[in-house]
Structure 1
Amino acid sequence: MSRVLRVLLAVCLLALVPGCGSDTRDPLVVLGPWTGEEGKAFEAALDKLDDGTGRTYTYEGTRSLRETLVSQLEADDPPDVAVLNSIGELTEYARRDELKPLAEASAERAYPPWAPTLLVDSRRRTYWVPLKVDLKSLVWSRRGTSSERPTWCVGLASQATSGWPGTDWIEDLLLHQAGPALYTEWATGRLDWRDPAVERAWTTWAKLLGKRSPESVERSLTTSFEGSTGPGGRPRGLLGSPGFPCTHEHQSAFIRYVYAGEDVTVEPSARYLDGQSAYRDAFEVAGDMAAVFSDDPDAQQLVERLSGPAGRELWWAEADPAVRPLFPDTAGLSPPASATPVEREIDSLLTSRARTLCFDASDVMPPELRDAFHRAVLEFFRDPTQRELDSLLQQLETVRVQVNTDAGVDRTFRPPQDICA
């Protein structure tokens, strides 16, 4: 039953109840990626958010975000607001005229590199705004662990998006070895996948991982990036999972929730990547961006409130310390005295010590190319030979050319070109 039909039925029923008017409006629906404790915190913030419209909100959290949104769009029943982490997907929806340009107040918070403008009919327009961000280009380890000869934890399984922890490695290596300019060309589809700099990132990753047994490879391919499950169903993290005798993990800031209360340290990844000193202070970032799919003006106002100080403070206050959100221009909201050294380090890196921030490359790519990248990483991890790499890079180049050819038909629309800031 569609949401529209459900609303009509609800209105009809209310009309039969004395004292109930016939002008009841449907709650605004927000579709997003947060589940578990993150989802609970965001939903609690929505429940307390007074935007002056008298509207209520329904939050739908799912790990299968793209699949859910696509099915809702096909049923002509989209959410009012959706929160996505893929600029490539958001660009695709804007090209199809399924997104609504943001109102001015929200557009002013479209901080780079999370929300580049799009050129549509010779006009610059803003279609999404970051609500929550994450810092990548980080390495985690147990306190006191030597970094001289790290052994790397790798868990590549992640339901429909398995492989992305590996693409993060390739992206981080390319950023630090070749710099933000070439990284941007590659991420935005303007660089051949067979370019020597791209190939070097893949071969460096294989070298860093070292020789692995078939059993170890299979374990990494089938183990979640969260690690194994511990008591109560809580993920252990790869640093504490049985069968992973590893000392270091390359992972985004969000993974801190699996190590809450544990004695771990975090540091920039640059020292491990065989990169150039000029790019030492460059970091990859990711984000969860809100976009409006509805003509309802209250949806625009909701995004304005969520991206502003009131919405942030509510969300931050409702979240447990391990899943407190980071924000694009202020990181954490004044880390409290109880903040852990890990929280303070991440906040410091994001707000002051990082000189260049570049958006996650695979999340910039069109979905077809991103998905092919994920699959290629899984295949290369299983067989990191030069012959296999040559074949995979050729396949990715073929996809890039085809995607660019298909997109080139529309001369009135230009996707993001600058994803570093």
Structure 2
Amino acid sequence: MSAAARSRDVTAAVLGLWLVALSFLSAGDMGGRQPRGRVSVLASWTGAEGDAFRRMLNTFTQRTGIRVDYQGTTALREVLRSEVEAETPPDIAVLPSPGEVAGYADAGDMVRLDRTIPERTLQQYGPLWKPTLRGGGAVYGVAIKADLKSIVWHDRNRRPSALPALAADGRQWCVGMGGDATAGWPGTDWIEDILLQQQGKNVYQAWATGGLPWTDRRVTRAWRAWGSLFGTDTARTALITDFREAGGKLFGPNPPCALEHQGSFIRGGYARPADADFAFSAGLIPETDARSTVREVSGDFATMFRDTPQARQLIRYLASADAQQGWAENTAEAHTRPFSANSTVPLDAQGDDGVARRIARALKNSGALCLDASDAMPTRMRLAFQRAVLAYLSDTRKDPIGLLRILEKVRKSLRADRGQPWLSRVCG
């Protein structure tokens, strides 16, 4: 054999070895499985949260051989809307509000989940974690992540007995309304929680599902109670402060504010999460009874836009207790773990974090929970609510009744529009 021929044989052998090696490397994240199709997922989690979610998706790939194309974006609503309108939606999207789930489901853009997720799995979720449209029992979204909202954060070194006096002083609240395109939503949380703690579940649910006028005296009372808490300086500071920055002022030797009314997710944004503790908001926010045990919550709902075998496998996996427990346990040690709405996920999923375990325990009491009202409302109602909050904070000396009359016009318009669905219930 000539030298040239031997050289060609050696080159071919080396290339063959490289191809074999590359095939093993490419299958490494699937545990040696051959690819068995792909599935696309869109959600809002980026950064450390996105990394933790990807690890859960990688476990799915290792078990099934199905590759997952994950896109995390803080502009989820805009991205999803454009993709749906272009008729190129993701297979699965995780939406941060049940109201959006209702809108897409009513428009016929979504696939029913109660025909894909086993009934025994769906039974592990309370009714508010698998919301249905008014007049129907079909399930289009299941909460794969949950957060507790009726809480007030403070430095763990503060005595609980000191909190009521601090709460009565509007200057002691760390408040930020900024939130990019959704500015104002922290204010909607305040008003929702005040109404829930003042009036209870029945009144709250009637309002959140479009059955109670915004001008009702009980809704008006909640707005006035919130407005009476803040002085002009605090209100104006809130308008120019991003919600992600407000709570950073809680800690340190001479903090300018002592309390933050914010959901459980915010703890992950604190520089030192271990320094943060919480108390339930009842009795601390204006004109509420400390004996109240009802809590406001929020969820991230897994939905399916394209019915493929791969999407069906993944949606069943995402809803399972096994996946959600693994998601929490495999979150990097330096970061807070996600909370589950699945009743069978054990408290052990939160490790030895006592604060997180208290939150997880509260989320299991589904009979005393109500979904975030603005999240449950049609998009136009929610956006009008957010704008009204900002307008009210610009001058809390004015009575809010004028703003509430405007919101009531929006509610009546949406109630008359069959293309704007409301949820049938928001409380467990």
1:189 is matched with: 210
Structure number with higher helix proportion: 2
Q: 1:144 to 1:131 in 2, by over 3 A?
A: same
1:392 is matched with: 403
Q: 1:171 to 1:310 in 2, by over 3 A?
A: same
SS across alignment from 1:294: coil
Report if the CA contact (8 A) 2:150-2:295 is conserved.
yes
Equivalent of residue 107 in structure 2, options 93, 96, 108 = 96
Q: 1:109 to 1:338 in 2, by over 3 A?
A: closer
Question: In the aligned structure 1, how far is the partner of 2:290 from the partner of 2:196?
Answer: 11
Q: CA deviation at 1:339?
A: 2.5
1:325 is matched with: 338
Question: In the aligned structure 2, how far is the partner of 1:328 from the partner of 1:152?
Answer: 29
Question: In the aligned structure 2, how far is the partner of 1:331 from the partner of 1:240?
Answer: 35
Q: 1:337 to 1:39 in 2, by over 3 A?
A: closer
Could you list the per-position Cα deviations for residues 108-128 of structure 1 after superposition, in whole angstroms to 9, with x for gaps in the alignment?
4553212222367xx521111
Does residue 161 in structure 1 map to residue 182 in structure 2? Answer: yes
Report if the CA contact (8 A) 2:378-2:422 is conserved.
no
Q: CA deviation at 1:317?
A: 2.4
1:70 maps to a residue whose letter is: R
Question: In the aligned structure 2, how far is the partner of 1:390 from the partner of 1:242?
Answer: 41
Q: CA deviation at 1:74?
A: 1.1
Q: Which runs of 5+ in 2 are unaligned?
A: 1-18, 24-33
Q: 1:242 to 1:63 in 2, by over 3 A?
A: farther
1:117 maps to a residue whose letter is: T
Question: In the aligned structure 1, how far is the partner of 2:377 from the partner of 2:340?
Answer: 23
Query: For structure 1, which segment, 238-247 or 170-179, has the greater mean C-alpha deviation from structure 2 after superposition?
Result: 238-247
Q: 1:144 to 1:241 in 2, by over 3 A?
A: closer
1:265 maps to a residue whose letter is: D
1:246 is matched with: 257
The structure having more radius of gyration, on CA atoms, is 2
2:69 maps to a residue whose letter is: T
Alignment of 1:75-154 (within 5 A): 75-102=86-113, 103-105=116-118, 107-118=122-133, 124-142=137-155, 143-144=157-158, 146-147=162-163, 148-150=165-167, 151-154=172-175
2:331 maps to a residue whose letter is: A
Question: In the aligned structure 1, how far is the partner of 2:138 from the partner of 2:57?
Answer: 27
Q: CA deviation at 1:396?
A: 0.4
Does residue 227 in structure 1 map to residue 245 in structure 2? Answer: yes
Report if the CA contact (8 A) 2:117-2:315 is conserved.
no
1:111 maps to a residue whose letter is: G
Report if the CA contact (8 A) 1:157-1:221 is conserved.
yes
SS across alignment from 1:271: coil
Question: In the aligned structure 2, how far is the partner of 1:373 from the partner of 1:379?
Answer: 10
Question: In the aligned structure 2, how far is the partner of 1:36 from the partner of 1:404?
Answer: 39
Q: CA deviation at 1:183?
A: 0.4
Q: 1:107 to 1:350 in 2, by over 3 A?
A: closer
Q: 1:51 to 1:419 in 2, by over 3 A?
A: farther
Q: CA deviation at 1:323?
A: 2.8
Does residue 69 in structure 1 map to residue 84 in structure 2? Answer: no
Question: In the aligned structure 1, how far is the partner of 2:254 from the partner of 2:235?
Answer: 11
Report if the CA contact (8 A) 2:35-2:67 is conserved.
no
Q: Which runs of 5+ in 1 are unaligned?
A: 1-16, 229-235
Report if the CA contact (8 A) 1:281-1:355 is conserved.
no
Could you list the per-position Cα deviations for residues 17-59 of structure 1 after superposition, in whole angstroms to 9, with x for gaps in the alignment?
9999xx9876211100111111110011101214865310011
Question: In the aligned structure 2, how far is the partner of 1:132 from the partner of 1:199?
Answer: 32
2:269 is matched with: 258
What is the CA RMSD across the aligned residues, in angstroms?
2.9
Question: In the aligned structure 2, how far is the partner of 1:337 from the partner of 1:93?
Answer: 33
Question: In the aligned structure 2, how far is the partner of 1:53 from the partner of 1:347?
Answer: 30
Does residue 200 in structure 1 map to residue 221 in structure 2? Answer: yes
Q: 1:76 to 1:162 in 2, by over 3 A?
A: same
Question: Aligned pairs, how many?
Answer: 385
Question: In the aligned structure 2, how far is the partner of 1:338 from the partner of 1:314?
Answer: 12
TM normalised by structure 2 equals 0.82
Could you list the per-position Cα deviations for residues 86-133 of structure 1 after superposition, in whole angstroms to 9, with x for gaps in the alignment?
11111010111000001141644553212222367xx52111111000
Report if the CA contact (8 A) 2:371-2:427 is conserved.
yes
2:237 maps to a residue whose letter is: R
Could you list the per-position Cα deviations for residues 199-240 of structure 1 after superposition, in whole angstroms to 9, with x for gaps in the alignment?
11111111222x132xx4443212211117xxxxxxx72424
SS across alignment from 2:361: helix
1:7 is matched with: none
Question: In the aligned structure 2, how far is the partner of 1:80 from the partner of 1:98?
Answer: 11
SS across alignment from 1:363: helix
Q: 1:159 to 1:41 in 2, by over 3 A?
A: same
Report if the CA contact (8 A) 2:142-2:301 is conserved.
yes
1:349 is matched with: 362
Does residue 313 in structure 1 map to residue 325 in structure 2? Answer: yes
2:423 is matched with: 416
SS across alignment from 2:93: strand
